Amino acid sequence: MDTSAVFVAIGHTPATEFIADVVSTDDDGYITVAEAGTHTSAPGVFAAGDCVDRTYRQAISAAGMGCRAALDAQQYLTA
């Protein structure tokens, strides 16, 4: 088979053990967030990036989600 590129993936496992007793996680260790935001099960705790995103796991999507988490935190603190 002819190819023009090969991409090697290392796999992804979220390192969330340190916070698993504070926020809800799924069976694979991903932090559970509200469907329309970055709110976790713990008030005032927000999550973003690869510890939440089991689909894309890309730097650009993590950056966007980080921005959303910052805005959610700002709204939480000023409410």
pLDDT tens digits, one per residue of 51-78: 999 888 889 999 999 999 999 999 999 9
Residue 6 lies in a domain: no
Tally of structural domains, the chain: 1
Q: What is the CATH number of the domain that holds 42?
A: 3.50.50.60
The Cα–Cα gap between 31 and 15 comes to 10
The Cα–Cα gap between 79 and 5 comes to 50
Spatial CB neighbours of 26, under 8 Å, sequence gap ≥ 6: 32
Residue 58 lies in a domain: yes
Residue 5 lies in a domain: no
Spatial CB neighbours of 68, under 8 Å, sequence gap ≥ 6: 37, 38, 48
Using one digit for the tens of pLDDT, what is the confidence trace for 9-54? 766 789 999 999 999 999 999 999 998 889 999 999 999 999 999 8
The Cα–Cα gap between 2 and 43 comes to 53
Reported as a pLDDT band with limits 50, 70 and 90, residue 1 is confident
Query: Residue 55 is part of which domain span?
Result: 17-78
Instruction: Tell me the residue type at 52.
Output: V
